[in-house]
Amino acid sequence: MSPLVIVLLSALVLVNAVELPDSRESAREEKLRSALIDAFQSIKKGSAKGGVDEDLASDLIGSLAKPSPPNSSRNDKPTTEDAFDVFADDDGLSFADFSEIKTEAKLSTTEKSHNVQHIVKTTTKPSDKTTQKPNKDVLSKLSDSIRNTVNESRNARQRDIANMTELMGIENMLRLFDADILVQQWPELQKTVSGECRVEMQEYVDGLMERQLWALKMEDASGRYTSMFYWGNNYWTGSAELCDILNEEHSPVKQRNKSRSQIFNDWREDLSMVGSGPPFDTAFYVAKIAVTTNFTDIVKNQRTLHLGMCLPRSCSRAAVSALVTGARAPLLQHQVVAVRSPQHGGYTYLGDPTFQVLLAVSILVSILLITATVYDVKIARDVKRRRQRAANIAANIANGGTRSDLKLDLNGLDDITVANGKSMYNVNNNLALNSNTSEERLTAETVSADELKLSVWSELLLSFSMKANILQIFDQSVGADTVPVVHGLRSFSMVWVIFGHTCIVVFKYADNTALRAILEKSFWFQLIISAVYSVDTFFCLGGMLVTFLYFRTKTKGKLDLLVKGHRKITSGVLQFFGLIGYRFARLTAPYLFILGVVEVTMKWFAHNAVFEPPAGDHETCPKFWWRNLLYINTLFPVEQMCMLWSWYLSDDTQFYAVSAILLILATSHFKVSAALTGVLFISSLFTTGYVSWSNNHIPNSEDPFTQFDKVYEKPWTRLGPYLVGMLTGWILFKTNLKIRMTRVWAAVGWAVCTATLLFLIFGLYKTELGVLSAAVYSALSHSLWAGCIGWIIIACSTGHGGWVRPLLSAPVLYPFSRVTYCAYLVHPVVLRYVAMHLTHPIHMGELFVFILFLGLTVISYALAFVISVAFEAPIVTMLKIVSPQRKPHRV
């Protein structure tokens, strides 16, 4: 038979083999392979005999084979195996794989056969029995036909795979570990577990195969893909509560107690509340899984999924990890990163020394609060009764009564100021009245009729009085020389901080996190990301208050009591340590308590919560808590920071120390102090700009916390707003809160301030900055914000605030302002507590986020009032007691 005929027949076999059913693929593969091998060998033999020349053979085989290395000899010829590269595509599809391809029915079998037969008819001519040399173009067309057929088959295979994934459905494509995979692959998966876990897993698999109700409930409580995978749903958690309920016994429903409500009747008759539980205890596991796939149109980048599973409790987290790792998903490739289980937490409060200290402190403080409150109520009752008796005695004397009737036991009370302006002195149990008001022992600080002088120890105890502290927090009065707009700025800024942090938590634990990309395009979303400026408001207020109060106190001569009789250098050092000591004592007590609460709660969340904690405080706080105590934690890497939001306290305390030096220096060398302040301000601006430029930091509306460790929380990049606040405080002191200003200039000031604030809040909307412009923006934005806050304070305090002054000075805001510090400390704990007690992801929505924000704000302020009454207010009162100008206790 002619080699040409053999090749043509082989081509026909190839075309027909593509259309044969899959059930006969293996047999056809062997026959086709043998036929083509014989064909090419015949061609090579014919070439050797002169039937087919070398060029013709190379046209069919050699030109399609892999190119020879440059240094190979001309005698090297492709082997039979090399000839099969004709049927290999760029992706490595070889002849051995060819028989597995199902071609798409674009061309029918008849059409493909007709194409090949047409080539045969047009190229084959009657010939002698002697071997003729076939036309080179004929075999070239034949090789092109074979190549095109293979390429079409390859494309058809790829389309079939794509169609297969489409027909499979997204719920099947995204399967990781479920009942079907477990049952089908159990013969292999059982090798990954052992002991009691293996036995109980076998029972679970048997229950699934037999469709036992308890097994179906376990599978129902486990997580799987549901929806919104492409909208950021990485939490396939299932239900930890339902898995835990399976361990409980449910009594059968009594028909006579059925509710008349159809809703409740349907619920009681549902299968969820009937049937026996599993023959073993169940536990809930959450596996953190890194997922990839070769089909980039399904999963483009690696995703980290959290898969919940209800399995036998006897299985350890390592066993569950091995079980999930060994499972083969249809399309996804996965790797288990970690496994969590609330039932296998491994952490108990009572065994933690930090919790033991917190418990002891809480018990001690509770005892002091109760004792002091009872003592305060008793004193108030006695004083009230004795005032009444004193008033009766005074009336008796005025009516001509005798002095012998004036016996009154006032042990423990040195003097009392009565409502009618007369003073009573207790001397050896004899009551003496002094009606000469010019000799009354009253000072500017003790003008209230509800004040009395007690011993120091009594006043120290009464500093824990809940009654007195609550009255102090809710006091609606302020001094005449104070700046009341501070209360409004504090309160609104704190609410803004809580709102921003609420959104951060929702973004992290939402099942539709991709919605954030849409929300970011909203104009009003800028209000959320601009919450970072609220901290600059706090910095500005801190610098203003410390400067204003220092100069006011210095002018009144009260600081001289601390440094009287010392030289200037010694007095300056004493003032510095006095200021630092006062601040440290005032801030540290509630700070340390919340620090301990954060450490304990985060340890519990890390071992027992369904979701991962938002930060590693359970690891960093036990190691680096001392940095928080010294207020230097921002000088270290953010990865080592305990209580992440404490960066503000650290920076503010460091700024306070700098301001103390500048203020003390200003009392003797004002120009030097002013020059140093200016140098520090300019240096801070240039440092911020350089750090931003060198790190390619681009502020944008998508992530305002980029470069958090290098730009956002470092003290040398945030000093500017504090120095602006110091300038504001100095202006208020020098002008004595009195600045004359025309309405035109006041209007210009408010217009510039409003425009600047609006630009800083909404300026980045749909704006892309370059590296240089971003550096300038980063350097100036925070100080510009503080400058606007300084204008608001000055304008409102000097009578040019218009309707803004009564808004920011509203007495209803005073209590909220006084507990701002504690609210800042406790509100992230509340956010984490709510998030870590979730067993399902949050579905993000505008209304839901707003309602969540309102609830978290109420809870945060409620806890802030408690912590302030228990820790902050007593310390403030104690500091007043030990100060040279201490005030008597108010009854």
State the Cα torsion 630-634-640-642 to the nearest 10°: 60
Q: Which helix (H) or strand (E) holds 157?
A: helix 136-168
Kind and range of the H or E run holding 265: helix 262-269
CB 522, CB 702: distance < 8 Å: no
pLDDT band with cut points at 50, 70 and 90 for residue 601: very high
Orientation of helix 317-326 relative to helix 179-189, angle to 10°: 100
State residue 125's pLDDT score. 45
Strand order across the beta sheet in which 889-890 lies: 430-434, 423-427, 415-417, 451-452, 889-890
pLDDT class of 727 with cuts at 50, 70, 90: very high
pLDDT score of 43: 54
Q: Is 252 exposed, middle or buried (0-12, 13-18, 19+ CB in 10 A)?
A: exposed
Q: How far apart are CA 221 and CA 246, in angstroms?
A: 10
Cα–Cα dist 482/666, whole Å:
22
Output b/e per residue, 269-306; b: 16+ Cβ within 10 A.
Answer: eeeeeeeebbebebbbbbbbbebebeeeeebeeebebb
Tell me the average pLDDT across 594-623.
92
Is 90 exceeded by the pLDDT of residue 771? no
Yes or no: say if 710 and 697 are a contact pair by the CB < 8 Å rule. Answer: yes
pLDDT in tens, 547-558: 999 998 888 776
What pLDDT shows up at residue 197? Answer: 93
| Element at 451 (helix H, strand E) | strand 451-452
The per-residue pLDDT for range 666-715, each reduced to its tens digit, is 988 999 999 999 999 999 999 999 998 998 888 765 566 667 788 888 99
Q: What is the mean pLDDT of residues 775-788?
A: 94
Higher pLDDT, 769 or 702: 769
Q: What is the mean pLDDT of residues 513-535?
A: 83
Helix then strand then coil, in percent of the chain rounded to 5, is: 65, 5, 30
Name the least confident of 539-553, 560-574, 746-760, 772-786.
560-574
- Per-residue pLDDT, 473: 93
Report the alpha-carbon distance of residue 135 to residue 120 in Å, rounded: 12
Region 9-22: mean pLDDT is 48
Which of 58-72, 375-389, 626-640 has the least mean pLDDT? 58-72
Residue 815 has pLDDT above 70, yes or no: yes
Q: Is residue 119 predicted with pLDDT exceeding 70?
A: no
pTM score, whole prediction: 0.74
pLDDT the model gives residue 77: 43
Q: What is the dihedral of CA 818, 823, 824, 827, to 10 degrees?
A: -170
Give the ranges where 311-464 is alpha helix by DSSP (H).
Answer: 317-326, 353-398, 456-462
293 pLDDT band, cuts 50/70/90, is confident
Q: Cβ distance 176 to 305 under 8 Å? A: yes
Paired tokens of 540: 């500005």
Q: What is the dihedral of CA 253, 259, 265, 268, to 10 degrees?
A: -30
CA angle 880, 884, 889 (to 5 degrees): 40
Instruction: Pick the closest to residue 701 from 770, 773, 765 (CA basis).
Output: 765
Tokens representing 238 are: 């299932």
Predicted pLDDT of residue 703: 61
Q: Is 430 helix (H, G, I), strand (E, B) or coil?
A: strand
Q: To which residue do tokens 């390859």 refer? A: 154
458 against 395, higher pLDDT: 458
pLDDT bin (cut points 50, 70, 90) of residue 411 is: very low
Place of tokens 């300056």: 572
Assess contact for 37 and 10: CB atoms under 8 A. no
Burial 736-757, CB ≥16 within 10 A → b, else e = ebebeeeeeebeebbeebeebb
CB 869 within 8 A of CB 469: yes
Complete DSSP assignment for 167-181:
HH-HHHHT--S-HHH
- Residue written as tokens 């295979």? 157
Which amino acid appears at position 82 of this protein?
Answer: D
Answer whether residue 423 shows pLDDT above 50. Answer: no
User: Which residue, 224, 199, 236, is CA-closest to 313?
Assistant: 199
Please report where in the chains the tokens 């005698």 appear, as a residue.
Answer: 75
Position 510 pLDDT exceeds 60: yes
Kind of pairing, strands 282-292 and 333-340?
A: antiparallel
pLDDT (0 to 100) of residue 206:
93
If DSSP codes are grouped into helix, strand and coil, which group holds residue 284? strand
pLDDT higher than 90, residue 782: yes
pLDDT in the model for residue 492 = 96
Task: Give the pLDDT score at 545.
Answer: 94
Query: Can you give the three-state secondary structure of 795-833, one letter per residue?
Result: HHHCCCCCCHHHHHCCHHHHHHHHCHHHHHHHHHHHHHH
Quick one: CA dihedral 871, 539, 753, 777, positive or negative? negative
3-state SS, 543-566, equals HHHHHHHHHHHHHHCCCHHHHCCC
Q: What angle do CA 638, 497, 471 make, to 5 degrees?
A: 115
Give the angle 11-15-19 at the CA atoms, nearest 5°: 160
* 100 CA to centre of own chain: 50
Encoded tokens for 115: 């194409």
With tokens 């039979």, the residue in question is 80
Please give the share of the chain, as a percent, with pLDDT higher than 90.
41
pLDDT at 428 over 50: no
- Residue labelled with tokens 């809870």: 859
Which amino acid is residue 177, in one-letter code? F
Q: Average pLDDT of the chain?
A: 78
* 838 Cβ contact list (under 8 Å, min separation 6): 509, 610, 611
Give the separation between CA 762 and CA 356, rounded to whole angstroms: 48
**Band (560; pLDDT cuts 50, 70, 90):** low
Phi, psi of 285 (to 5 degrees): -125, 145
Q: Looking at the predicted structure, is the pLDDT value of residue 414 above 60?
A: no
Question: CB under 8 Å to 837, separation ≥6 — which residues?
Answer: 609
HSE at residue 34, side-chain half, CA atoms within 13 A, is 6
For the record, the structure tokens of 180 come out as: 């079907």
Does the pLDDT of residue 204 top 90, yes or no? yes
More confident of the two residues 393 and 549: 549
pLDDT at 557: 72
pLDDT of 284 above 80: yes
C-alpha 878/C-alpha 871 separation (Å) is: 11
Q: What is the pLDDT of residues 75-106, one digit of tens each?
A: 444 444 444 343 444 433 333 333 333 444 44
Identify which of 304, 359, 313, 360 has the alpha carbon closest to the alpha carbon of residue 335: 304
Contact 789, 541 (CB under 8 A): yes
Across 250-264, 378-392, 576-590, least confident range: 250-264
Which pair of tokens denotes residue 673?
């102090």
Please check whether residue 113 is in contact with residue 15, taking contact to mean a CB–CB distance below 8 angstroms. yes
Residue 194's Cβ-side half-sphere holds a number of Cα atoms within 13 Å equal to 0
Please tell me the distance from the alpha carbon of residue 162 to that of residue 83, in angstroms, as a whole number.
Answer: 30
Q: What is the pLDDT of residue 592?
A: 96
Strand order in the sheet with 303-312: 235-236, 303-312, 282-292, 333-340
User: Minimal CA–CA distance to 176: which of 381, 383, 333, 361?
Assistant: 333
Mean pLDDT of 237-260: 71
* Cβ–Cβ under 8 Å, residues 295 and 152: no
Question: Reduced to 3 states, what is the DSSP secondary structure of residue 319?
Answer: helix
Which of 38-42, 571-575, 829-833, 862-866 shows the lowest mean pLDDT across its residues?
38-42
Question: Rounded to a whole number, what is the largest CA-CA distance in the chain?
Answer: 163
Which backbone phi and psi does 131 adopt, to 5 degrees?
Answer: -70, 125
